[in-house]
Structures are given as C-alpha cells and as structure tokens.
C-alpha cells in the first residue's frame, strides 16, 4: 500500500496531471468504492471537476442541489467529516440529503476539505457502497492527497480566470515575495502554499496580488491559527 500511496502522491503533485484523473488517483491508496473532487464555497462555482463513477458524481449533485451535506460542512468547518453508516445511523443533520441518499447505493461517506490557508475551495468526497469505517492511516492518506488536490484546484481556478503572473515589474515581484514570507511566518505554510494563498485572496477579492501583498506587509491583512484552524484578520 505504501508504494500505491507514494505513486498516488506523485501523480497528484504533477502539474501536468489531467483533472479527470484526480479522483481515480485517490482510489489507488484508499480502499473506498468511489471518489469525487468538487469546488464550492465563496470564490469558486459549484462544480464536480473529477469523479470516478456516476454515483460519486450523483453524491455531489445532490449536495449542490439541496445546499446541504458533507461537502458543505467540511468547507464551512475546515475539518473532515466521517459518516460510516449514513443510511441507518447518520451522525450529522442533513434532512433533505439524508432522505435523498437513501435512494442511492451509498453506505458510507468520508469528506475532506480542499483549502489553501484560509481559502476553502472545495471538497474531496469518498464513498463506500456499504457501511464502512476509514482507518486512521487511510484518513491521513486522504488528507495528504486532499492537500495536493487543493493546490491543483487553485492553480486550475487561476488559470481559468486568466490570472497573470503577479507582475513583470521588479518592485511588485519583490513586494509579493516579501508578503509570502509574512504568510509563511504567520501560518507555517510552505512557500508554494503561501504564494497560492495570496493568489487566491486576489482572485476572491477581484484585486491584484500586488495590492493584497501590500495589505499583508502593512498589516491590514494578517492570518492566524485558532484551535488548529486558519483564520484571517483584517
């Protein structure tokens, strides 16, 4: 399984990976029936960008249409949600979704947030055709893969939005680089994720990276962690 997990992580880290393959790559390392990758939340449209099968896509569609379900809650809370017996003993209250899922061959759902720093951009949903538990190790693997998928999804969103590189101007590049250092210090993110967070903030606010960077450097925008969750302060 370690080889399968390493292979999956390598595939998800490849910027040339096809988005249609994101969900199926997860199945190499986690023993579930199907998976989907969706975008939703404040800055991205509701969309399934990858699914392993029609049932996985249907689980997303129900949640989008009903406005409730695991994917919505993981985006709101920034934490995974496990429903090992969703048909008979659901742990969360989603009246419309629970009723709708009774008609689908889905016994368990495990959802993981997709996020870059404070920006929650979607969900990785896993399902099993019957009741099932997700082991701690499999949950860690799914969370690690969700991190790589988050980067892929954010880059995809920026590409589709036609976002240019920060700026060709030397001063602007220097300002963004400095702001990236601030974010790294505040949140302990990797340089890549700190940079993507600034890009995502610019996309969310309809502003340039240079403007967001100045806000960070001038401390009009900062980030903090609270109970393990990353929050922004402005």
| Domain of residue 202, residue span | 170-233
Q: Residue 75 maps to which CATH number?
A: 3.30.450.40
Question: Does residue 165 sit within a domain?
Answer: no
2-34 confidence digits (pLDDT tens): 899 999 999 999 988 899 999 999 999 999 999
39-50 confidence digits (pLDDT tens): 997 778 899 999
One domain for residues 73 and 123: yes
Q: Are 181 and 198 in contact (CB under 8 A)?
A: no
Q: Are 23 and 51 in contact (CB under 8 A)?
A: yes
One domain for residues 175 and 151: no
137-187 confidence digits (pLDDT tens): 999 999 999 999 999 999 998 888 775 555 445 556 788 888 999 999 988
One domain for residues 15 and 116: yes
Lowest mean pLDDT among 46-55, 144-153, 189-198: 189-198
- Bigger pLDDT: 208 vs 65: 65
Please tell me the total count of domains within the chain.
2
């Amino acid at each position: 399984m370690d080889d399968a997990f390493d292979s999956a992580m390598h595939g998800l880290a490849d910027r040339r990976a096809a988005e249609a393959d994101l969900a199926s790559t997860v199945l190499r390392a986690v023993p579930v029936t199907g998976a989907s990758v969706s975008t939703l939340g404040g800055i991205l449209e509701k969309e399934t960008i990858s699914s392993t099968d029609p049932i996985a896509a249907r689980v997303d569609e129900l949640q989008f249409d009903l406005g409730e379900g695991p994917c919505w809650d993981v985006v709101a809370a920034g934490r995974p949600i496990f429903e090992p017996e969703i048909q008979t003993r659901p742990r969360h209250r989603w009246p419309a979704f629970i009723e709708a899922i009774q008609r689908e061959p889905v016994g368990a759902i495990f959802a993981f947030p997709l996020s870059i720093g404070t920006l929650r951009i979607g969900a990785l949903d896993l399902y099993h055709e019957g009741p099932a538990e997700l082991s701690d190790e499999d949950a860690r693997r799914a969370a690690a893969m969700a991190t790589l998928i988050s980067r892929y999804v954010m880059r995809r969103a920026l590409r589709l939005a036609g976002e240019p590189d920060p700026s060709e101007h030397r001063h602007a590049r220097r300002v963004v680089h400095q702001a990236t250092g601030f974010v790294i210090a505040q949140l302990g993110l990797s340089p890549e994720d700190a940079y993507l967070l600034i890009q995502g903030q610019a996309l969310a606010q309809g502003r340039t990276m240079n403007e967001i960077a100045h806000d960070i450097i001038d401390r009009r925008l900062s980030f903090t962690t609270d109970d393990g969750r990353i929050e922004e302060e402005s």
